[in-house]
Amino acid sequence: DIQMTQSPSSLSASVGDRVTITCQASQDITNYLNWYQQKPGKAPKLLIYDASNLETGVPLRFSGSGSGTDFTFTISSLQPEDIATYYCQQYGNLPLTFGGGTKVEIK
Amino acid sequence: QVQLQESGPGLVKPSETLSLTCTVSGGSINYYYWSWIRQPPGKGLEWIGYIYYTGNTRHNPSLKSRVTFSVNTSRNQFSLKLSSVTAADTAVYYCARDRNTDDAFDIWGQGTMVTVSS
């Protein structure tokens, strides 16, 4: 199985801050990576697909980059409604696997 | 717009079989993969497996041979059976549409909590 290592596991930032989350794959997955946002008590929501493509309707402050084994997810200006846990997910190989999640809080 | 809704018992006894159904509304079940994903309380997401509308399936080897998927295209439903459950199978179970081109889960059900307890 491909292991996905996310860091940090949690972070606290102020409104307006730039927030960066990293995801490292245990082997090369080219750009086969998606990012999700999960708010408490809700199902995850797809934000980014193929490492860097913004899903329709997702605010432009969200972005993704990377290829191979190292990926980055960025919120350019943190908003109160962005409080959530964020997950990466690879589809380079089955089984599909997720990172452990990054909980984002407001300072 | 396409919506998914999970249904099934919220409490299952140890060693018994967990059975869930996901109903697809607002669109066709055809031409997509349909996944089951679970999330133990306070933990991360685990992909259980998926079924194509034709009935082809793949599952996560971590669940060994305990998983069975089925699809009913006439009812726009797909189902999960997980046998020999233990407390470790206690989780919120989500059904989700797998967008074939990028294996992205673009539509999710609201999730259903299943507790394994006697």
Sort out which chain A residues have CB atoms less than 8 A from B99's CB and list them. Answer: 49
**Which of 55-94 (B) contact A at CB < 8 A?**
58-62, 94
Among B112, B83, B62, which Cα is nearest to B14's?
B83
pLDDT in tens, B46-57: 999 999 999 999
Q: What's chain A's length in residues?
A: 107
pLDDT in tens, B62-94: 997 899 999 999 999 999 999 999 999 999 999
Residue B100 has a pLDDT of 80
Residue B64 has a pLDDT of 77
Those residues whose C-beta lies under 8 Å from the C-beta of residue A53, and which sit 6 or more positions away, are: A64
Question: What is d(CA A18, CA A28) in angstroms, rounded to the nearest whole number?
Answer: 27
* Residue B54: both structure tokens together: 């034709």
Residue B65 has a pLDDT of 87
A84 neighbors A28 (Cβ within 8 angstroms):
no
Sort out which chain B residues have CB atoms less than 8 A from A49's CB and list them. Answer: 99, 102, 104
Query: B40: cis peptide before it, omega within 30°?
Result: no
Dihedral angle sign, alpha carbons of residues B68, B71, B72, B77 = positive
- CB within 8 Å: B102 and A32: yes
Residue A60 has a pLDDT of 98
Q: Is B101's pLDDT higher than 90?
A: no
Residue B108 has a pLDDT of 98
Average pLDDT of the residues in B89-109:
94
Residues of A with CB under 8 A from a CB of B: 1, 32, 34, 36, 42-46, 49-50, 55, 87, 89, 91, 94-101
Average pLDDT, chain B: 96
pLDDT beneath 50, residues of chain A: none
Question: What is d(CA B43, CA B33) in angstroms, rounded to the nearest whole number?
Answer: 25
Those residues whose C-beta lies under 8 Å from the C-beta of residue A71, and which sit 6 or more positions away, are: A22, A23, A24, A25, A33, A51, A64, A65, A88
Which residues pair with residue B72 across a beta bridge?
A: B77
Q: How confident is the model at residue B28 (pLDDT cuts 50, 70, 90)?
A: very high
Among B102, B117, B98, which Cα is nearest to B22's?
B98
